[in-house]
A and B are shown apart, each in its own frame.
Chain A
């Protein structure tokens, strides 16, 4: 499989902050590559450098085999970009926006109109085709922005947080579309805050923290070390002080961690029995609401590698109105 994207030793500094610190990776042709990291890790800066919105301080970028380190325009016809915020024209209708975006790629009038109608239909936006973009809901805006990104049928697609901040039905529809584009052979570079989304969609994933790639592998290999683990997630209305230490003392075989929102996470190499654990917690003043076994997932890998709670990261992004 030849590389669609190849990045070598890429650096980018903004004043005193090293946003990207020497990352290297490649994305194969037709691969769906996930790029995960906490806020401010350098994901959007990396996408900006790959697409020509930012200049790298150092390093090399090849897109579709074209060296575009010093000349980002060279490969722009090969890529589609869906930014983390919808950036279409509020004063144009949905149909006009798509036609305009197609025109930017030199597509003739008849072809761009038929392609725009086709995409409006695919995204269930035909009834809103003649409404101004400014009046669209968040989900509709996001869908039209994705449609604008693929209007010229690019072989390489950059998706920056495509499903953040939109309703469940729209997010599901977008995920299905991403999977369908992937099946059709489009190379996809995806950043997302939804780790389960990345786990479900991606072939390979890179974790980026503080501008550095700390791990890069297939989803299966990433999850493999935690797949043998047994995890119990206990929700409590009230967690007494020092319970973590008392649990660790009483159950030395468990790894115990408190997380935001009143959760206790217990991990063990052997199956965790619910009864003794809940009894111990209640005897020690905790008010247990729920205890459930959890399947170890990519989220556990992410937390262990980055030290960032996935829930907290997602909430922070959504609070900022990310995605729209």
Chain B
């Protein structure tokens, strides 16, 4: 059987029916804009601060775009039983879930480049290390998507998915060094910060944009990759345990 046909059609259907809808596209534009504006005004330091804000805005745009979209769409499909149709298809389970999450990862990456394009008009991005930035964006999108999958498997209602997403997302904004350095956090919060995947993503993006990173790129990206594998594996295990019981 030509597995790529199934893989591509699952991914393309999700992109078409969920992610490329006008409300989501506008959300992808407005949300990073609002965050950029908020921190821009708050910092009061003019256009010079754009490169310092960019990694945080990019990470938030990815995090909010992917986690909520994937957790809501999977919960919705589970609720109306169309997810069963995928489980009954003769596709390896891991490949099926990669196709299902692939759309959200691409959507997250597209969201990430909205603030980058806007920043390109206002600041000099010629010093950005794209070789680190792009893999960093990809891994943050993948980790956030798999976090969304983990949330989707843990709840049964769409509204629960939204609530549970926020339980993870909002603390991550403040604990992961997106806008405030992890070093400035109280001592008792630092271990929590290092237990969150976005900390390593934010560090890699800061390093790629303005060179202000605490850990080596290889360590950041490896740990982010490890979080991706871990979250994906736990979610798959959970789906098999709960939905194919």
Residues of B near A26 (CB, < 8 A) are none
Q: Which of B9, B80, B92 has the most CB of A within 10 A?
A: B9
Residue from the list A52, A54, A91, A107 in contact with B17, Cβ < 8 A: A91
| Chain A residues in 8 Å Cβ range of B117 | none
The answer to whether B85 touches A55, judged by C-beta atoms less than 8 angstroms apart, is no
In Å, the complex CA distance between A136 and B9 comes to 23
Instruction: Kindly identify which residue among B9, B17, B244, B245 contacts A104, using a CB–CB cutoff of 8 Å.
Output: B9
CB neighbours (8 Å) of A148 from chain B are 85
| A77-B90, A88-B82 known; A106+B17 contact, CB < 8 A | no
**How does the 8 Å CB contact mask read for B8-26 relative to A, with 1 for contact and 0 for none?**
1110010001000000000
Interface centre among A91, A92, A103, A105, by most B CB within 10 Å?
A103
Other-chain residue from B1, B93, B244, B245 in contact with A77 (beta carbon distance below 8 A): B1
Give the distance in Å from the alpha carbon of A85 to the alpha carbon of B83 in the complex: 13
CA distance A100 to B8 in the complex (A): 10
Contact B91 A104 (CB under 8 A): yes
Does chain B have a CB within 8 A of A312? no
Q: By the criterion CB–CB under 8 Å, are A53 and B244 in contact?
A: yes
Number of interface residues of B (CB under 8 A): 25
Partner of A100, one of B2, B9, B81: B9
User: For residue A90, which residue of chain B has the nearest CB?
Assistant: B80
Contacts of A39 in B (CB 8 A): none
Could you tell me if A105 and B89 are in contact, using CB atoms closer than 8 angstroms? Answer: yes
Whether B88 sits at the interface, judged by CB under 8 Å, is yes
Which residues on the B side are within 8 Å of A87 (C-beta)? Answer: 80-82, 84-85
The answer to whether A108 and B5 touch across the interface, beta carbons within 8 angstroms, is: yes
Are A101 and B85 within 8 A (Cβ)? yes
Interface centre among B13, B17, B82, B90 (most CB of A within 10 A): B90
Q: Does B3 belong to the interface (CB within 8 Å)?
A: yes
**When the two chains form their complex, are residues A54 and B84 in contact, meaning their CB atoms are under 8 A apart?**
no
Given A55-B244, A88-B82, residue A105 in contact with residue B9 (CB < 8 A): no
Place the interface of chain A in its size category. Answer: 20 to 34
Interchain CA distance A54-B87 in the complex, whole Å:
11
Q: Are B17 and A89 in contact (CB under 8 A)?
A: yes
Given contacts A52-B244, A103-B6, A104-B86, contact A83 B17 (CB under 8 A): no
B23 to chain A, nearest CB (A): 13
Contact status B90-A83, CB under 8 Å: no
Q: 1/0 per residue A56-85: CB within 8 Å of B?
A: 000000000000000001001100010101
Please tell me if the beta carbons of A51 and B90 are within 8 angstroms of each other in the complex: no
Given contacts A92-B13, A106-B1, contact A54 B244 (CB under 8 A): yes
Task: With both chains docked as a complex, state the minimum distance between the C-beta of A253 and any C-beta of chain B, in angstroms.
Answer: 52
| Chain B residue at minimum C-beta to C-beta distance from A76 | B90
Residues on the B chain within 8 Å of A89, using CB: 13, 17, 82
List B residues 36-89 near A (Cβ within 8 Å): 80-82, 84-89
Can you list the 9 inter-chain pairs with the closest CB atoms, starting with the nearest?
A103-B9, A104-B89, A77-B90, A106-B1, A76-B90, A87-B81, A106-B2, A106-B5, A91-B17
Q: List 29 A-B contacts (CB under 8 A).
A: A51-B88, A53-B84, A53-B88, A53-B244, A54-B245, A55-B244, A55-B245, A73-B90, A76-B88, A76-B90, A77-B1, A77-B90, A83-B84, A87-B85, A88-B85, A89-B13, A90-B80, A92-B13, A92-B17, A103-B8, A103-B9, A104-B6, A104-B85, A104-B86, A104-B91, A105-B6, A106-B5, A106-B90, A108-B5
